[in-house]
Structure 1
């Protein structure tokens, strides 16, 4: 299922939308308990709400295997939903391309593969499950996607590709330049602009980047500073540079009258708050001593700061692997 407009429980209207977890199992459990979820017959459930995970539950953190089990069990039992994140997409590509004799970078997935050492069958089962996840959700009153809502691409997908079988979908996804490949990249990784004049940046996570992440909701931007959306700041001479007409034409917009949308992906910090009245990012760098954040959505047309709920991860992450090693 690459898309869903109908939640697992059709009458469901109250959702707890949870940002990027990256293997922080102890923090996940504490957040679920703070939200009122209780473990019953091995599954975390809420009597009247459903959890919605924004993807990126794997890689980086100390208890990845445990996170997958908690969330997959919740999804399969109807107490949660989840959309595909770029890290799950990378895991799928890694395994599929490896199976075709091709190669892809294993740096992102190194910690996940290490924690599944000797458990290849279990890992392959999870990768198959990742391939069943929707890329975006249209729930009653709100939209869910990992990184970017591109209305035009989503409309084209619904019109031309919605009936693809999983085999057709993932075969197209592994074909460089195909619409499905670009669609997945856009929705799970977002939009970017190249740094000017061949410049590059050394990012905080150790990568040399020649592009920077941009907002898909910027309103009448004039300079690079108006559209940049990433933890790594642009040098001032680049940030103040004016966008040319071609660059402006590549940018997306998200109108104020569109439904509230929830995203992850962008490594924010500080106290959680709306980006705009109808846009919220719930990725607050949990695995980097940040916060694991949820938003309690109940059908409101504007996102309010008082409905963000979180746990601080810094004190907890060191205990994750020890506390959650046995399944």
Structure 2
């Protein structure tokens, strides 16, 4: 083993994923992408939004099941599990994740692409429940959104391998529960509410009343010190001081900690390192950005030269085609 190739949020860009694997030196044998000396770690969010969701899931699932890859759960896999699991009797609603217009819109493409494959979708959901929320392997750490040590310790007390069960899933939809805090922080990260009446209108068509904050600033003082998303904060809110309550809600990942890989934050532009020991690999592939990997070979201090990516062009004729990699 030379090391791991960590791949950010795929979001249904299955053909682009295959092209990136080929670029990294993986080749399909027996329906599985393999490398003689390296393994992949997927950072979650395989599904939703993209044009070839089934293909993305099939590639990743087969690699994981054959020992060629590892994976952590993203918030979109978690959303799908809760959306498709019935709520316990007496909850007052039918599904763990309510079928609101917003939630319906998020999962719409996934359900449509699996509509004619219901048995396959059930198997995929069962596989999602087997995906751990975090990984530590050979000197690196992986989580979809935020590495929060107290919450990860709490998770591992009951689930040493980071894999949750259906009871934990059912508990996790109730705000204030331990399960909710763990799943929300690890798969969605830190959110700071915006002032009353203020919204961010994101490039993906959603309006948000909070912003995503990162967790590696040593002594943050303002909202601008921790904001971590491509959407700008309205007005002069970046200058707004963090309240004592907001500062207390932040996790902190110090520079002495092992290398950490995250996705989730739909960065833009040329991949760069936000900290010497932190790499974010979500570069908005499904929004015609980049599907990004990091080639890690044991280094404790990360190197931006180790990023590898495939651009996702807007022109249909220029996008990777699945004709050689369609497992059907």
| Superposed pair shares fold, TM > 0.5 | yes
- Which of the numbers 7, 15, 18 marks the counterpart of 1:29? 18
Of structures 1 and 2, the one scoring higher in RCO (CA 8 A, sep 6+) is 1
Whether the aligned pair in 2 keeps the contact of 1:145 and 1:188 (CA below 8 Å) is yes
Residue deviations 1:66-102, cap 9 Å, x none?
1111110000000001110011111001000379723
Whether the aligned pair in 1 keeps the contact of 2:262 and 2:281 (CA below 8 Å) is yes
What is the distance in 1 between the residues matched to 2:158 and 2:130?
19
In structure 2, do the counterparts of structure 1 residues 85 and 317 end up closer, same or farther at CA, with 3 Å as the change threshold? farther
TM-superposed CA distance for 1:221, in Å, is: 1.0
Of 304-313 and 91-100, deviating more is 91-100
Structure 2: give runs of 5+ residues left out of the alignment: none
- Which of the numbers 121, 124, 142 marks the counterpart of 1:123? 121
Partner of 2:141: helix, strand, or coil? Answer: strand
Q: Which residue of 2 aligns with 1:6?
A: none
Q: Which residue of 2 aligns with 1:49?
A: 38
Of 267-276 and 100-109, deviating more is 100-109
What is the distance in 2 between the residues matched to 1:66 and 1:29?
9
What is the distance in 1 between the residues matched to 2:151 and 2:56?
31
Q: Which residue of 2 aligns with 1:8?
A: none
Whether the aligned pair in 2 keeps the contact of 1:289 and 1:317 (CA below 8 Å) is no
What is the distance in 2 between the residues matched to 1:220 and 1:317?
45
Q: Which residue of 2 aligns with 1:268?
A: 267
2:176 matched to 1:177?
yes
In structure 2, do the counterparts of structure 1 residues 94 and 215 end up closer, same or farther at CA, with 3 Å as the change threshold? same
What is the distance in 2 between the residues matched to 1:161 and 1:304?
33
Whether the aligned pair in 2 keeps the contact of 1:16 and 1:49 (CA below 8 Å) is yes
Whether the aligned pair in 1 keeps the contact of 2:132 and 2:164 (CA below 8 Å) is no
In structure 2, do the counterparts of structure 1 residues 192 and 111 end up closer, same or farther at CA, with 3 Å as the change threshold? same
In structure 2, do the counterparts of structure 1 residues 152 and 45 end up closer, same or farther at CA, with 3 Å as the change threshold? same
Residue deviations 1:16-67, cap 9 Å, x none?
0000111111111111011111111111000011000000111111000011
TM-superposed CA distance for 1:250, in Å, is: 1.2
In structure 2, do the counterparts of structure 1 residues 242 and 81 end up closer, same or farther at CA, with 3 Å as the change threshold? same
Q: Which residue of 2 aligns with 1:257?
A: 256
Q: Which residue of 1 aligns with 2:148?
A: 150
What is the distance in 2 between the residues matched to 1:99 and 1:75?
31
TM-superposed CA distance for 1:178, in Å, is: 2.1
Whether the aligned pair in 2 keeps the contact of 1:262 and 1:280 (CA below 8 Å) is yes
What is the distance in 2 between the residues matched to 1:199 and 1:277?
34
Please report the TM-score for the alignment, with normalisation by the length of structure 1: 0.91
Of 149-158 and 136-145, deviating more is 149-158
What is the distance in 1 between the residues matched to 2:181 and 2:206?
22
2:107 matched to 1:109?
yes
In structure 2, do the counterparts of structure 1 residues 150 and 183 end up closer, same or farther at CA, with 3 Å as the change threshold? same
Partner of 1:125: helix, strand, or coil? Answer: helix
What is the distance in 2 between the residues matched to 1:39 and 1:230?
35
Partner of 1:122: helix, strand, or coil? Answer: helix
Partner of 2:267: helix, strand, or coil? Answer: coil
Please report the TM-score for the alignment, with normalisation by the length of structure 2: 0.90
TM-superposed CA distance for 1:120, in Å, is: 1.2
Q: Which residue of 1 aligns with 2:67?
A: 78
Whether the aligned pair in 2 keeps the contact of 1:23 and 1:63 (CA below 8 Å) is yes
Q: Which residue of 2 aligns with 1:65?
A: 54
2:227 matched to 1:238?
no
Residue deviations 1:131-153, cap 9 Å, x none?
00000000111100001111111
What is the distance in 1 between the residues matched to 2:296 and 2:315?
26
TM-superposed CA distance for 1:219, in Å, is: 2.0
TM-superposed CA distance for 1:293, in Å, is: 0.5
Whether the aligned pair in 2 keeps the contact of 1:74 and 1:80 (CA below 8 Å) is yes
TM-superposed CA distance for 1:317, in Å, is: 6.0
